[in-house]
């Protein structure tokens, strides 16, 4: 347990869409601004995805990444965490990460049925602006999605990131994913501490209820001992409740527009910074000291700030 709590802000993601909220950052300029403002509001880490600036669809195009990652790094001292979740192969998923060299890259360590259609069902009156949104969230293919994170793909990504000397955050959507991670750590020379993100509340993965969060923490500590840094994240409107529970358990927390758009039912957050400000108030009321980017780097074993080109 750390004396300080790190706030990660997941700025835009790939499963919520522009028609769901006018405040979801889509263009490189919007993603950069929201990230910089989130760090100013108290986040130490910004977790990033890229989107096509024309219609907001998810992309892993390096040219798009280059339009906002260097800008964020130049204008704030937040820790850059790039998602490596798009692509059929490990090499495709890391095609933007390796040239941009963030301080952290995210590796998902398990497959699952991904009920992303639930995100549209939760907003019953939504009118999609783009056909790709409708196909993603309510078309027939939306009910056939399985996230493919095989043992081979995970192992390849870990090896590539070790060779590139880029730290990893391991996203776990269920308890079994912790055991998959433990299997890989038995044979991979991953630098300590091990960074583990509990990503809860996705239909197909573990829910965000307190007993599940406690089980995730206890299992992680049994498997990884003192060599792990834990983050708690709940999707949807349970996001803040999961963050508060995580902080009380002694884990770090994650909020952001990637997985939650609503302050309360029917009321949209107007920015990522607003989410960071809210969770900061909660943490302060719980007497949790919020980590700065500099102290977060020490906690996460990143050393001094790394310059990006």
Q: Shortest CA distance to 197 belongs to which of 106, 94, 302, 260?
A: 106
**Predicted local distance difference test score (pLDDT) of residue 145:** 87
* CB of 66 closer than 8 Å to CB of 100: yes
- Residue 110 near residue 204 (C-beta atoms within 8 A): no
Which pLDDT score, from 0 to 100, does residue 307 have? 55
pLDDT digits (tens, 9 = 90+) for 273-299: 999 999 999 999 999 999 999 999 999
pLDDT category at 231 given cuts 50, 70, 90 is: very high
225-229 long-range CB contacts below 8 Å, 24 or more apart?
227/192, 227/193, 227/194, 228/193, 228/194, 228/195, 228/196, 229/2, 229/193, 229/194, 229/195, 229/196, 229/299, 229/300
pLDDT digits (tens, 9 = 90+) for 68-119: 999 999 999 999 999 999 999 999 999 999 999 999 999 999 999 988 787 7
The residue-averaged pLDDT of 41-48 equals 98
Residue 308 has pLDDT above 60, yes or no: no
154 contacts 107 by C-beta, under 8 angstroms: yes
- 304 pLDDT band (50/70/90 cuts)? confident
Question: Which pLDDT value is given to residue 284?
Answer: 95
d(CA 138, CA 126): 11
Q: What is the pLDDT of residue 237?
A: 85
Q: What's the rounded Cα separation, in Å, for the pair 90 and 84? A: 8
pLDDT at 2: 67
Mean pLDDT of all residues belonging to the chain: 93
Q: What is the pTM of this model?
A: 0.95
Whole-Å CA distances, 252 to 39, 110, 223, 236, 287: 15, 21, 18, 18, 14
Q: State the CB neighbour count (10 A cutoff) for residue 240.
A: 19
How crowded is residue 305: how many other Cβ atoms within 10 Å of its Cβ? 14
CA nearest neighbour of 233 among 205, 253, 261, 213: 253
Compute the distance between CA of residue 154 and CA of residue 218 in angstroms, rounded to an integer: 23
**Contacts of 54-61 spanning 24+ positions with Cβ under 8 A:** 55/18, 55/130, 55/132, 56/17, 56/18, 56/24, 56/26, 56/130, 57/130, 57/132, 58/14, 58/86, 59/86, 60/86, 60/87, 60/92, 60/93, 60/95, 60/96, 61/96
The fraction of the chain above a pLDDT of 70, given in percent, is 96
């Amino acid at each position: 347990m750390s004396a300080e709590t790190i706030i990660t802000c997941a700025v835009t993601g790939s499963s919520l869409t522009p028609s769901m909220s006018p405040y979801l950052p889509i263009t490189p300029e919007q993603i950069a601004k929201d990230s910089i403002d989130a760090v100013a509001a108290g986040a130490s880490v910004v977790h990033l995805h890229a989107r096509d600036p024309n219609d907001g669809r998810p992309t892993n195009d390096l040219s798009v990444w280059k339009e906002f990652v260097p800008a964020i790094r130049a204008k704030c001292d937040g820790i850059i965490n790039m998602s490596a979740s798009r692509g059929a192969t490990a090499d495709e998923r890391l095609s933007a990460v390796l040239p941009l060299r963030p301080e952290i890259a995210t590796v998902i360590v398990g497959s699952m049925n991904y009920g992303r259609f639930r995100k549209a069902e939760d907003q019953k009156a939504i009118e999609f602006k783009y056909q790709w949104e409708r196909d993603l969230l309510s078309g027939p293919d939306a009910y056939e999605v399985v996230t493919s994170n095989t043992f081979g793909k995970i192992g390849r990504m870990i090896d590539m990131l070790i060779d590139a000397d880029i730290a990893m955050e391991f996203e776990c959507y269920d308890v079994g994913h912790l055991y998959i991670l433990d299997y890989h750590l038995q044979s991979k020379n991953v630098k300590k501490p091990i960074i583990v993100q509990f990503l809860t509340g996705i239909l197909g993965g573990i829910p965000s209820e307190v007993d599940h969060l406690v089980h995730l923490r206890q299992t992680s500590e049994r498997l990884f001992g003192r060599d792990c840094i834990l983050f708690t994240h709940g999707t949807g409107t349970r996001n803040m409740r999961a963050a508060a529970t995580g902080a009380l358990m002694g884990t770090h927390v994650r909020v952001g527009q990637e997985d939650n758009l609503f302050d309360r039912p029917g009321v949209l957050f107007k920015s990522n910074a607003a989410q960071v400000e809210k969770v900061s108030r909660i943490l302060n009321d719980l007497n949790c000291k919020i980590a700065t980017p500099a102290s977060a780097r020490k906690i996460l074993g990143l050393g001094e700030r790394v310059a990006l080109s």
